């Protein structure tokens, strides 16, 4: 069983890498772009759609706000990209927003950023995969019933690819990302060229209106403002994942900061170009999309109508129908890159979790690297939580999108505020006029980013809180409280375990009393006795509990017959309770000699099949778990390998002096 598991692990993950090979996993810019920027690049596939979906709630007349909302999103994206370029240069260690906020605003603010980002990374996986599945269903509507299954399979595939390491996942993700960028740019250029030549593409939904509903009265004043602000907050999904590069600076080749800043600039230019192109083309082609297909068609019975995504409608309009090569190319590339966009979170989440674990805010296991030098535990944790979310929300993008982007704008706001304080501190000590001018410029950029992202955060809270964003807020708060509790626990444990007087801690116990637990006189019992004698305790005795008096008497006769020179103590147990009897005896011995150490030896079977554990060792496990809580008691398991365990795994070559199963232990020289 173990060999099969190890073989499967090697097939999925690959050979283990030595720690010294970490430098070989560093990324060039051409691979770093698809790894860390696939999320913001792919967001254009649904950011425009989310704007149109919200505006059509009021009716088609309000679609004329689309260009203005898109312009505001572009301005915001430009400011955020410029702001994070400052973060990359100022904090190249990879902490990103968390490090900026912790250093300049304090640990509590840093934890707010961290908890918000961790929640957002989970949502990135869920939304990206769900959106990718949506685009597959747009091309193949018959797959709609398998939406959740496909989403979970894609999460599993992404997990396996990321467990193979950052560099290998980058190679796998690079081609689809660049194919998507090329497809989107070609589609936008072709559609806009047709428009300039007098043959504009027309979406198949251009002829549809929006069915009137009772709430469709003319919107004025506050209602209109809320509609526009809600559409803007939905369009801000285009900014998700922008901060991932600042978290991943250590993964770049040298010079790390410069390469990361260049990659971020390239990401910003490409993302803005594609977002503007898709939005403009959607306006030209008169794409209509609604939250309810019946509202779009105006038909009372519209169950057979499958509403296609904005990208699918544009591809069909530009390339000549839904059976054209261009349509299938764009759909395939979009679906693939949306699923792969979750890789941004699969890189950002484990990195951030590793830093938090190093700072003792999360379990230390999250700081450990796996066989391929990736943070495997963080990758697996992200996959499990995102998978549960997809299952709970049935992989529905519209339901998941309301939980999205809240965390990212929290981190944007606090990190940019922290950067303003950082430049203030630098300006107090810097005397070089040229450097001071650069610091002043950087401070203006970060201050602008802080103000704008704070406004967007308020807008998102106002427009999305009751739509489901409250759940993301609650999750972030719970995570913040949990991380503070973990840090308190680690601090308290460190203080409790700190050495104040080494001599007293190293003082040996007065005596060591060895107790071997016995149920039956067989080979495992004899091995435990031999091992206990080899350790030469000051006193050694065997202990059994007389659950059945006849069996206890038979054990005593057999003990005497074999002339075992270790005294056997029999505890009477009229209520047939083993654990409490052993505990009471051990504690009574401990009370009599509080300076003594009691070493309890428990024979245990080692089995080769999981179901054999249900048949063996249950009493031993329960006894061990109770004895471990008794001060002054050391518990030692003495294993005996059953034949099934030997067959389950090939034995290692016998080392000199090693003892095979069943052989007596060699006596130790005094």
Lowest mean pLDDT among 44-53, 208-217, 628-637: 208-217
Average pLDDT, the chain: 80
Identify the CA nearest to 261 among candidates 241, 245, 238. 245
For residue 58, is pLDDT > 60? yes
- Shared domain check, 584 and 557: yes
For residue 636, is pLDDT > 80? yes
The DSSP letter of residue 519 is: S
Q: What is the CATH number of the domain that holds 234?
A: 1.20.1740.10
Token pair in block for residue 561: 């017959």
- Shared domain check, 509 and 426: no
For residue 468, is pLDDT > 50? yes
Q: Are 402 and 230 within 8 A, CB to CB?
A: no
310: number of Cβ within 10 Å:
28
Distance separating alpha carbons of residues 17 and 165, to the nearest angstrom: 10
Domain end call among 432, 453, 486: 486
Whether residue 5 lies inside any domain: the answer is no
Whether residue 659 lies inside any domain: the answer is no
Distance separating alpha carbons of residues 337 and 34, to the nearest angstrom: 9
Distances in Å between the alpha carbon of 588 and those of 241, 339, 591, 627?
Answer: 61, 63, 5, 13
| pLDDT over 90, % of the chain | 18
Which residue range is the domain that position 536 belongs to?
504-648
pLDDT tens, 173-197?
678 888 889 999 999 999 999 989 8
- Shared domain check, 578 and 452: no
- Shared domain check, 279 and 186: yes
Element (H, E) at 554: helix 549-561
- Shared domain check, 515 and 367: no
Whether residue 640 lies inside any domain: the answer is yes
Average pLDDT for residues 73-81, to the nearest whole number? 88
Whether residue 155 lies inside any domain: the answer is yes
Q: pLDDT band at 208, cuts 50/70/90? A: low
pLDDT attached to residue 488: 93
pLDDT attached to residue 220: 58
Whether residue 657 lies inside any domain: the answer is no
Distance separating alpha carbons of residues 63 and 619, to the nearest angstrom: 71
For residue 300, is pLDDT > 70? no
Whether residue 214 lies inside any domain: the answer is yes
- Shared domain check, 528 and 482: no
Tokens 């008169």, residue located: 286
pLDDT tens, 577-606?
888 889 999 999 888 888 889 999 999 988
pLDDT attached to residue 292: 60
- Shared domain check, 202 and 166: yes
Q: What is the CATH number of the domain that holds 554?
A: 3.40.50
The pair phi, psi for residue 526, each rounded to 5°, is: -65, -35
Whether residue 394 lies inside any domain: the answer is yes
Whether residue 15 lies inside any domain: the answer is no
Distance separating alpha carbons of residues 351 and 40, to the nearest angstrom: 18
For residue 301, is pLDDT > 70? no
pLDDT attached to residue 456: 81
Token pair in block for residue 538: 């000051």
- Shared domain check, 452 and 552: no
* Helices assigned H by DSSP within 140-216: 147-163, 166-196
> Per the structure, how many domains does the chain have?
2
Lowest mean pLDDT among 324-333, 344-353, 561-570, 621-630: 344-353
pLDDT tens, 488-533?
999 998 888 888 878 777 777 788 999 999 988 889 999 999 999 9
Distance separating alpha carbons of residues 332 and 311, to the nearest angstrom: 11
Distance separating alpha carbons of residues 537 and 600, to the nearest angstrom: 11
- Shared domain check, 514 and 400: no
Q: pLDDT band at 305, cuts 50/70/90? A: low
Dihedral of CA atoms 384, 390, 392, 396 in degrees, nearest 10, equals 170
Token pair in block for residue 637: 């398991």
640: number of Cβ within 10 Å:
18
């Amino acid at each position: 069983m173990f060999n099969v598991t190890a073989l499967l692990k090697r097939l999925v993950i690959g050979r283990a890498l030595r720690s010294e090979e970490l430098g070989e996993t560093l990324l060039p810019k051409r691979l770093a772009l698809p790894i860390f920027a696939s999320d913001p690049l792919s967001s254009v596939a649904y950011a425009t759609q989310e704007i149109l979906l919200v505006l059509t709630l009021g009716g088609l007349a309000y679609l004329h706000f689309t260009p203005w909302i898109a312009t505001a999103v572009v301005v915001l994206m430009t400011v955020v990209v410029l702001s994070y370029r400052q973060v990359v240069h100022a904090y190249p260690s990879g902490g990103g927003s968390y490090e900026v906020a912790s250093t300049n605003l304090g640990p509590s603010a840093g934890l707010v950023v961290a908890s918000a980002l961790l929640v957002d990374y989970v949502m990135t996986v869920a939304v990206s995969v769900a959106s990718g599945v949506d685009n597959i269903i747009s091309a193949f509507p018959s797959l709609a019933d398998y939406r959740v299954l496909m989403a979970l399979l894609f999460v599993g595939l992404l997990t396996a690819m990321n467990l193979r390491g950052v560099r290998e996942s980058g190679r796998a993700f690079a081609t689809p990302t660049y194919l998507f960028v090329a497809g989107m740019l070609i589609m936008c250029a072709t559609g806009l060229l047709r428009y300039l030549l007098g043959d504009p593409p027309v979406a198949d939904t251009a002829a549809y209106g929006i069915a009137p509903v009772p709430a469709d009265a003319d919107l004025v004043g506050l209602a209109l403002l809320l509609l526009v602000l809600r559409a803007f907050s939905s369009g801000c999904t285009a900014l998700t994942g922008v901060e991932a590069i600042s978290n991943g600076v250590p993964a770049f080749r040298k010079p790390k900061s410069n390469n990361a800043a260049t990659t971020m600039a390239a990401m910003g230019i490409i993302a803005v170009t594609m977002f503007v192109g898709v939005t403009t083309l959607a306006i030209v082609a008169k794409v209509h999309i609604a939250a309810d297909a019946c509202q779009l068609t105006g038909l009372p019975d519209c169950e057979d109508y499958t509403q296609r995504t904005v990208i699918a409608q544009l591809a069909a309009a530009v390339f000549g129908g839904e059976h054209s090569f261009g349509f299938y190319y764009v759909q395939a590339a979009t679906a693939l890159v949306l699923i792969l966009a979750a890789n941004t979170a699969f890189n950002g989440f484990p990195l951030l979790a590793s830093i938090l674990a190093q700072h003792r805010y999360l379990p230390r296991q999250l700081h450990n690297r796996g066989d391929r030098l990736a943070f495997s535990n963080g990758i697996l944790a992200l996959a499990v939580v995102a998978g549960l979310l997809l299952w709970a929300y049935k992989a529905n993008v519209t339901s998941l999108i309301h939980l999205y982007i809240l965390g990212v704008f929290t981190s944007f706001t606090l990190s940019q505020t922290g950067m303003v304080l950082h430049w203030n501190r630098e300006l107090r000590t810097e005397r070089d006029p040229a450097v001071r001018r650069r610091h002043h410029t950087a401070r203006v950029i970060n201050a602008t980013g802080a103000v704008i992202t704070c406004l967007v955060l308020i807008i998102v809270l106002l427009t999305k809180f009751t739509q489901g964003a409250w759940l993301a807020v609650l999750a972030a708060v719970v995570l913040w409280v949990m991380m503070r509790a973990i840090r308190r626990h680690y601090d308290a444990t460190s203080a409790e375990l700190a050495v104040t007087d080494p001599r007293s801690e190293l003082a040996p116990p007065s005596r060591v009393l060895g107790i071997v637990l016995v149920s039956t006189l067989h080979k495992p019992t004899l091995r435990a006795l031999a091992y206990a004698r080899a350790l030469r305790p000051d006193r050694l005795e065997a202990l059994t509990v007389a659950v059945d008096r006849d069996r206890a008497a038979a054990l005593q006769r057999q003990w005497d017959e074999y002339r075992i020179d270790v005294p056997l103590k029999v505890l009477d147990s009229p209520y047939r309770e083993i654990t409490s009897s052993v505990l009471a005896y051990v504690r009574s011995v401990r009370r009599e000699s509080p300076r003594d150490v009691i070493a309890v030896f428990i024979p245990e079977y080692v089995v080769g099949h999981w179901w054999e554990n249900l048949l063996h060792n249950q009493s031993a496990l329960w006894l061990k778990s109770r004895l471990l809580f008794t001060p002054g008691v050391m518990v030692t398991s003495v294993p005996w390998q059953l034949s099934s365990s030997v067959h389950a795994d090939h034995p290692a070559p016998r080392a000199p002096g090693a003892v095979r199963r069943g052989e007596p232990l060699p006596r130790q020289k005094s």
